[in-house]
Structure 1
Amino acid sequence: MTNTFKEDVRKGLEQPQKTLPSKYFYDKKGDALFVEIMNLPEYYLTRCELEIFKNKTNALIKALQLKTNTHFELIELGAGDGLKTKHLLKALKDQHFNFEYIPIDISANALQLLQQDLNKTLPDIAVTPKQGDYFEVLASLKHNNNPKVILFLGSNIGNMEDAIAQQFIYNLGANLQKNDMLLLGVDLIKPEEIVLPAYNDSKGITAQFNLNILERINNELEANFNLDYFEHLPKYDAVKGIAESYILSTKAQTVTIKAMNATFDFDEGEKIHTEISRKYNDKLIHNVIANTDFTIEDKILDSKAYFADYILKRH
């Protein structure tokens, strides 16, 4: 991981528009901060999708076209703490479905905590955590012929540029068989006064989360970022439906990263792009799946119609 992290940081900071990959938000501290973010009053995304999983569980099960007499694999990409999924797992168990739950995550810490929790709360469920790259894990499962249901929740697809999201869904389909299902959770386009506070909460937790990537570089790559001279900068374009996060340099400064024997200069006001969070509507989802083998089978909304879980089927 360290070599990949180092090369990704080098590549990002050498760009004219400096960038750092959002996947590196998540270490032990980042995981804990994101759990805090999910509980913030401004962060509606988790609450809205959680409402769907709590109150419309049977609608999800019906839309996913599951059968009690057929064993299937329930595979979650980026499982995190499994907050929402546990409601679905419990309903599947109570209704005597025959399945194995396979959470995939880049964070070994998150997977360990999730398995410990499920062992206590839902001990009868078969759980097989897999740490690593989504597609490497899916490729290893591709040829076992078990029907598969993929969960990709939390509008994580929105962290990708549109062309990358299209390729991602295509690659997912390439690792699945005919009639496999994908539950794709997406945040819907809404006005700025609803969206922007979700990325700029009053307690500053999101700012800590964004800046944690610099702390990781300090700790793991022997850098000397002074976090007092960088700040969190969120933006949202309500017309395009795109939220973005940046780290802003508040002064002209030079940072040394010993592990790569390199220095990087920052101008006052210079930004490091860390995250995109695309919001969707039906037209955009159709564009994302246009060149794939998926079709939309159903769409389930929360009570405010802020968030949607699209049910897609591989043909």
Structure 2
Amino acid sequence: MAPQVDGSSDIPIVDIRQKEFNDSILDEIYGGLQLGTGKERTLPTMALYDERGLKLFEDITYLEEYYLTNAEIEVLSTYAAEIADQIPSESRMVELGSGNLRKIKILLDALESAGKDVEYYALDLSLAELERTFAVLPKETYKHVKCHGLLGTYNDGLSWLKQGVNQSKPLCIMTMGSSLGNFRRDEAAEFLRNFANVISATDMLLVGLDACQDDLQVFHAYNDKEGKTHDFILNGLTSINSITGKRMFDPGDWAVVGKYNCTKQCHQAFYRAKRNIFVEGVEFKAGDQIRVEESYKYSRSQRDELWKCAGLEPKAIFANKGDNYRRYKGYILVR
């Protein structure tokens, strides 16, 4: 049985980590710096989400330019009761990469109002973030909804879901917001397929996708006028220094560059060297770049291809008003 973490939160938090997060990300850091034939240098996106990075990202979600959060809140506020109606009592709900409860609380409130006895599990790789999140949600907040935290990565969550105790109740696995967009399209399909393989025909996946096809709107969402998103990206270098235990990067040597890639239909974030430097013996000339993030957007055809490759079928679609395939949508998918 996984150990419960002794923390400051009233909500129980279970440590399901199979190995330390830092151990699993080091290979990506060192391997990504090597430039193979036809490859670009990369750093892992997950390195952006250290404790400070999570707080910076939360600030970003309140920006006017960052349309995704407002669109998701609109969808949940409009359809929470209908989504709750699809979730059976006694369900175990697991949110992958939970962040704060600002959005999901709308759905939890709807489940509580419907008298649905469910268990909500928030999966996050930061104990500090889980404790901070649940600090605003005392145990007595809900009578029917029971809240728990899971400390671990996506892979840890997948292994935990395979345990027999989690197969005995109806499952609703949720990946909300734009998290899925951080994967390449083939990786996103594999990610969903892996979780689809642990649910039964009566279980469900609630998946959020960003369908924005407006290049300028996407660009400004990741390159806001206050520079908060660039601060968030730049903090990733400090996070990597912490993970590696050495001053691998001097943030002052790097600028953040955001680009919209029309061919891939995704926004990309890079670190660009301001001068000629060496990092762990790897030479970077002024202007050389390292990609740290991609945010893919899904057209109707790309969305349909995703479901096909993941072996999923959409059973209910919940979209924001004026559904013109330009903004976030939520889907319930059933095997």
Q: Distance in 2 between matches of 1:183 and 1:2?
A: 29
Q: Distance in 1 between matches of 2:182 and 2:253?
A: 26
**Cα offsets for 1:11-63 (capped at 9, x unmatched):** 1112342101111111111011000110111100111001111222123224x
Report whether the alignment pairs 1:128 with 2:148: yes
Q: Distance in 1 between matches of 2:160 and 2:242?
A: 33
Q: Retained in 1: the 8 A contact 2:213–2:299?
A: no
Distance 1:2 1:292, change over 3 A: closer
RMSD: 1.8
The corresponding residue for 1:283 is: 301
The corresponding residue for 2:80 is: 57
Q: Retained in 1: the 8 A contact 2:211–2:299?
A: yes
**Cα offsets for 1:78-131 (capped at 9, x unmatched):** 000121100100110111001000111122222111222222682433112111
The corresponding residue for 1:5 is: 25
- Given candidates 211, 219, 225, the residue that maps to 2:249 is 225
Q: Distance in 2 between matches of 1:15 and 1:177?
A: 42
Q: Retained in 1: the 8 A contact 2:275–2:286?
A: yes
- Given candidates 117, 122, 144, the residue that maps to 1:98 is 117
**Cα offsets for 1:239-262 (capped at 9, x unmatched):** 54211111111211123xxxxxx3
Q: Distance in 1 between matches of 2:282 and 2:239?
A: 16
Moved more, 119-128 or 263-272: 119-128
Report whether the alignment pairs 1:250 with 2:274: yes
The corresponding residue for 1:266 is: 284
Deviation at 1:193, TM superposition (A): 1.7
DSSP-derived class of the 1:39 partner: coil
The corresponding residue for 1:307 is: 328
The corresponding residue for 1:259 is: none
**Cα offsets for 1:249-302 (capped at 9, x unmatched):** 1211123xxxxxx33321111110111111012221221121444211121111
Amino acid at match of 1:5: I
The corresponding residue for 1:258 is: none
Q: Distance in 1 between matches of 2:250 and 2:82?
A: 49
Equivalent positions of 1:1-315 (< 5 A) are 1-16=21-36, 17-62=40-85, 65-67=86-88, 70-119=89-138, 122-124=141-143, 125-142=145-162, 143-144=164-165, 145-220=168-243, 221-238=245-262, 240-255=264-279, 262-305=280-323, 306-314=327-335
Gaps spanning 5+ residues in structure 2: where?
Answer: 1-20
Deviation at 1:157, TM superposition (A): 0.9
Deviation at 1:219, TM superposition (A): 3.4
Amino acid at match of 1:270: D
Q: Distance in 1 between matches of 2:24 and 2:90?
A: 37
Q: Retained in 2: the 8 A contact 1:135–1:172?
A: no
Q: Retained in 2: the 8 A contact 1:189–1:238?
A: no
Gaps spanning 5+ residues in structure 1: where?
Answer: 256-261
Distance 1:76 1:308, change over 3 A: same
Q: Distance in 1 between matches of 2:78 and 2:91?
A: 23
Counting aligned pairs with the same residue, the percent is 28
Number of residue pairs the alignment of both structures matches: 304
Distance 1:29 1:304, change over 3 A: farther
Q: TM-score, normalised by structure 1?
A: 0.91
Q: Retained in 2: the 8 A contact 1:191–1:238?
A: no
Distance 1:238 1:25, change over 3 A: same
